[in-house]
Structure 1
Amino acid sequence: MPKLQITRIGPVETPLPAYQSHGAAGLDLYAALQAPRTLHPGQRLLVPTGYAVALPEGHEGQVRPRSGLALHHGITVLNTPGTVDADYRGEIGVVLVNLGQEDFVVEPNMRIAQLVVA
């Protein structure tokens, strides 16, 4: 796995992106929110992660949905996969959309997506 340089950004401290198991393909990304946000059916929300990632040259980051959120709640990443270029140094944001039938609450520090380095 390529080595990543991770920099915290913003006022909310979230867990650092991490692989949750030895065989995991993606690092979990967390919601850097100060308070819960409600995502109504059909609504989009840009969720900050609280960090920037420096990817090695020749690599990209792919922001992908979490399958459990999609299956159980209809929550997915709108621009799947969202691309993080190797030279991008700003905060990673995740565009979530609620394709479900009910409101969904995005909680602070909730795992909202995965970052796959390719």
Structure 2
Amino acid sequence: MKIQVINTSTHHLPKYETLGAAGLDLKANLKESIFLKPLERTIVKTGLFIALPHGYEAQVRPRSGLAAKKGITVLNSPGTVDADYRGEIGVILVNLSNDVFEITDGERIAQLVIAKHEQATWVEVEQLDSTQRGTGGFGSTGKK
């Protein structure tokens, strides 16, 4: 699949790091570092503008290393970039650690996963079909 992109950053375009990778690393495009305090959130711009084909979305997801080692994650995970959005891709980062985290220019801050999707049409009914799970909610199929 080919995706049109404008790159206003000084960094190379995101790439897949391995043959089996699902996500492309997004990098911070900053004039100066951001110091993210504990429980603080900010939008970090990437310098990337994309035009996705109809029927696709780009999902902005956390990087596991940042989350596990530093407590930095994407707040609205996954964030969605719609096919008709033409603005700059930004990443909402939050610091869930007890330490100030410095975000520097070019730092890999998130992953971008391109995914196919469908648009649904609602069909109103009076009753849904029954299943073994039924109306069991959160955790209803886990250990008891």
Provide the residue aligned with 1:100 in structure 2. 97
Instruction: Please give the alpha-carbon distance, in whole angstroms, between the structure 1 residues aligned to 2:25 and 2:47.
Output: 13
Gaps of 5+ in 1: none
Gaps of 5+ in 2: 116-144
2:112 is the alignment partner of 1:115: yes
Relative to the length of structure 1, the TM-score reads: 0.94
Provide the residue aligned with 1:76 in structure 2. 73
Identity %: 57
Cα deviation, residue 97, structure 1: 0.2
Larger radius of gyration between Structure 1 and Structure 2: 2
In structure 2, the residue corresponding to 1:49 is in which secondary structure?
strand
Provide the residue aligned with 2:55 in structure 1. 58
Instruction: Please give the alpha-carbon distance, in whole angstroms, between the structure 2 residues aligned to 1:8 and 1:87.
Output: 18
In structure 2, the residue corresponding to 1:70 is in which secondary structure?
helix
The list of structure 1 runs, each at least 4 consecutive aligned residues, that deviate by more than 2 angstroms after superposition, is none
Provide the residue aligned with 1:85 in structure 2. 82
- Name the amino acid aligned to 1:51: L
Provide the residue aligned with 2:141 in structure 1. none
Instruction: Please give the alpha-carbon distance, in whole angstroms, between the structure 2 residues aligned to 1:37 and 1:15.
Output: 21
- Per-residue CA deviation, residues 69-102 of structure 1 (Å, 9 max, x unaligned), is 0000100000000000011111000000000110
Cα deviation, residue 14, structure 1: 2.2
| Bigger relative contact order (CA 8 A; separation at least 6) | 1
Relative to the length of structure 2, the TM-score reads: 0.77
Q: When the two structures are aligned, how many residues end up with a matched partner?
A: 115
